[in-house]
Amino acid sequence: MKLTIEYSNKSILNNKLDALIVFIFEDLGLAGSGLNSLPYDLKNNLDTSIKLKVFTGKQNKCLQLFSAYANIPQILAVGVGKKNEMNSESLRRAAGTAGKILNSLKAKNIGFSVTSHLQKVSNTDVGQVLVEGLTLGSYKFNKYKESNDENLKLESIKLKCFDPDNVTSRKAIKTGKMRADSTNLARNLGNMPANDLKPKDLASSAEKIAKQHKMNCTVLEEKQMKKLGMEMLLGVSQGSREPAKLILMEYFHQKAKQTVALVGKGVTFDSGGISLKPGRNMDEMKFDMCGAAAVLGAMEIIGQINPHVNVIGVIAATENLPGGDAQRPGDIVTAHNGKRVEILNTDAEGRLILGDALSYVVNEFKPNAVIDLATLTGACITALGHYACGAITNSNKLMEQVRKAANLSGDRVWQLPCFPEYGESIKGKYGDLQNIGVGDSGTIIGGMFLEHFVDKTPWVHLDIAGTAWNVKHIGYQPNSGATGFGVRLLVDLVQNWEPI
Ligand code: BES
Ligand code: MN
Ligand code: ZN
């Protein structure tokens, strides 16, 4: 389905629409939700359903109704909960819930009003938040479905935003659409099966985005990585026939005083290697490039909003397979920064490829801050489930900025401790380091391994293993598959950057 958004600063009346979406507060009913002036024939059924408490305006509840008003035959009422409990994230979720059923309305021309009643509940422009939610909610991954499905046939929907009180703006609506579209790009990349999305495909994706938005893009090949001494990355890649790629995208702003690097884990399939994973749910390891997808999605937006900070997008892309050349447990490799690392488990590959990527970026670009995103540990799902990613950092100042961006975007972040004792178990027996520790707190240990490769650069590691796919009960997230987690978080971080 293709969704287009239009903006009008006129009233909804005198328009012919196939359907109208109305947002209704639980404690205020129709009048308090700014819908009193709608024609009686349109409101009638809605009024009755509220009076009979069939529809109460509870957060995320929807009701589909039909009206006798010829110009607008269908209504989708969406509950946004109690007014004083509202914020931009709950509004985004409610809009997402509506977005999920847009297709089944069988309507091509759908309107919604941004009333002044919604204005004060959000710390972000409400128009932007609503469009973000609606567009994210309507996402479906249908690339591999038969095209004779009725729902798939209904190909394009036009969504019209009416803003008679100037609560939002044409620009905000466009911004919301752009943010959702790039998040959906990250979802598409995540959902692609590993036979159709290889490291080279991540590279061409980056090249395409860079070209569209006038950024530099360089792809380092294995030969160059060898020269640079990236044995950790190459060691992971050597079990696969697909060559690894180290992808670098550079966004520059003339007035920028600082540079931020965004580094994503791009394992297009993680079988575990010789330390092979169990068969159950192994298919989900096609999602092991969702960190990379987040960086790509964010760079696509950054190229359009021109923030006043330089941004380097970095993707370490490889497969982790157990081919005849695969690395063995016990192998010792030399990292880009010279540290010797003993591989005790080939399935702890994310930290290896990211370690080399991080060391390279901090040396080559001397960024003021680095954020990495990775589906790094299953342990993170045990620790935090699906409703916050885990964070490890060496800089409280940077962490504070990440936290603010998390609150703005709805991509939640939860900091984990990194007391020195946690790092003891990755000190090497035969090398300087080993790639797994002993005992529990695997997410912290994985993060602290990475810390050895960032020098003193302020750094935040985000373990997105739990938030990158299969997140239920959030209105704008699909019930299964990739979420695009991190795209809007990174954009909000970069856009509101405060020099550190
Ligand atoms: N990509 C996985 C982490 C993962 C597993 C994410 C399941 C989401 C769901 C990562 O490469 C991995 O295999 N990590 C190991 C680390 C262990 C060997 C120390 C893990 O979590 O089991
Ligand atoms: Mn692994
Ligand atoms: Zn992995």
Give the separation between CA 184 and CA 415, rounded to whole angstroms: 26
Asked whether 24 and 80 are in contact (CB, 8 A), the reply is yes
Q: Which of 82, 83, 200, 277 is catalytic?
A: 277
- Distances in Å between the alpha carbon of 74 and those of 46, 67, 159, 468? 11, 6, 14, 35
Give the separation between CA 130 and CA 349, rounded to whole angstroms: 39
Could you read off the pLDDT of 251-297 as tens digits, one per residue? 999 999 999 999 999 999 999 999 999 999 999 999 999 999 999 99
Could you read off the pLDDT of 202-217 as tens digits, one per residue? 999 999 999 999 999 9
**Mean pLDDT, residues 432-446:** 96
The question of whether 277 is a catalytic residue gets the answer yes
268 lines ligand 1 (CB under 6 A): no
Give the separation between CA 465 and CA 389, rounded to whole angstroms: 7
| Band of pLDDT at residue 103, cut at 50, 70 and 90 | confident
**Closest residue (by CA) to atom 22 of ligand 1?**
378
| Band of pLDDT at residue 34, cut at 50, 70 and 90 | confident
| Band of pLDDT at residue 454, cut at 50, 70 and 90 | very high
Could you read off the pLDDT of 354-413 as tens digits, one per residue? 999 999 999 999 999 999 999 999 999 999 999 999 999 999 999 999 999 999 999 999
206 lines ligand 1 (CB under 6 A): no
Give the separation between CA 484 and CA 477, rounded to whole angstroms: 9
**Mean pLDDT, residues 123-143:** 95
**Mean pLDDT, residues 99-126:** 89
Give the separation between CA 370 and CA 261, rounded to whole angstroms: 5
Could you read off the pLDDT of 15-25 as tens digits, one per residue? 999 999 999 99
Q: Is the pLDDT of residue 416 over 70?
A: yes
| Band of pLDDT at residue 149, cut at 50, 70 and 90 | low
Which tokens go with 156?
């394009």
Asked whether 291 and 482 are in contact (CB, 8 A), the reply is no
Q: Is the pLDDT of residue 147 over 80?
A: no
pLDDT for position 154:
62
Give the separation between CA 239 and CA 374, rounded to whole angstroms: 21
pLDDT for position 152:
62
Asked whether 439 and 422 are in contact (CB, 8 A), the reply is no
Express as a percent the part of the chain with pLDDT over 90.
92
pLDDT for position 30:
85
pLDDT for position 350:
98
| Band of pLDDT at residue 148, cut at 50, 70 and 90 | low
Query: Where in the chain do CATH 3.40.630.10 domains reside?
Result: 193-495
**Closest residue (by CA) to atom 5 of ligand 1?**
378
Sheet containing 245-251: give its strands across. 216-220, 245-251, 310-320, 259-270, 369-374, 459-463, 389-393, 413-415
378 lines ligand 1 (CB under 6 A): yes
Express as a percent the part of the chain with pLDDT over 70.
98
Q: Is the pLDDT of residue 480 over 90?
A: yes
435 lines ligand 1 (CB under 6 A): no
Region label for 71, one of left (φ > 0), alpha (ψ between -120 and 50) or beta (otherwise):
alpha
Q: Ligand 1 pocket check: which of 318, 377, 380 to mutate, most ligand atoms within 8 Å of Cβ?
A: 377
Q: Is the pLDDT of residue 138 over 90?
A: yes
Give the separation between CA 318 and CA 289, rounded to whole angstroms: 9
Q: Ligand 1 pocket check: which of 268, 283, 347 to mutate, most ligand atoms within 8 Å of Cβ?
A: 347
**Closest residue (by CA) to atom 14 of ligand 1?**
377
**Mean pLDDT, residues 44-63:** 93
CATH topology of domain 2-168: Leucine Aminopeptidase, subunit E; domain 1 (3.40.220)
Asked whether 136 and 476 are in contact (CB, 8 A), the reply is yes
Rounded to the nearest whole angstrom, what is the distance from the C-alpha of residue 377 to the centroid of ligand 1? 4
Instruction: Give the ligand 1 atom nearest the CA of 437.
Output: 19
For the segment(s) 193-495, the CATH number from 3.40.50.300, 1.10.260.40, 3.20.20.140, 3.40.630.10 is 3.40.630.10
